[in-house]
Amino acid sequence: MMLRKMNIKIETIVTLLVVIVSVGVAYGSLTTRVATLEDKTDMILQMSIDISVIKEKVSNIEQKINSR
C-alpha cells in the first residue's frame, strides 16, 4: 500500500519536473528570439539613419552642382 502511494508521488514529481524543464527551455528559446529580434531592429534603425544622412549629402552635392 505504501509503495503504491510512493510510485504515484514519484510519477507526479517526475511529471512536474518535466513540465518545469519544458517551461524553462521554452522561456530560454523565447528570450533568445526576442534578443535577436531587438538586435535586428536596432540594425534596421541604424540603416535608416544612415540612408537619411546619405540622402542629405547627395542633396547637398546636387545643390552645389546646380548652383555652378
Q: pLDDT tens, position by position, for the chain (68 residues)?
A: 455 555 567 888 888 999 999 999 999 999 999 999 999 999 999 999 999 999 999 999 999 998 87
Please name the amino acid found at residue 31.
Answer: T
Alpha-carbon gap, residue 41 to 5, rounded angstroms: 54
Flag whether 55 is in a domain: yes
The domain total for the chain is 1
pLDDT for 13 equals 85
Flag whether 61 is in a domain: yes
pLDDT for 1 equals 47
Write out the residue range of the structural domain in which residue 60 sits: 28-68
Flag whether 68 is in a domain: yes
**What element of type H or E holds 20?**
helix 2-67
pLDDT for 6 equals 59
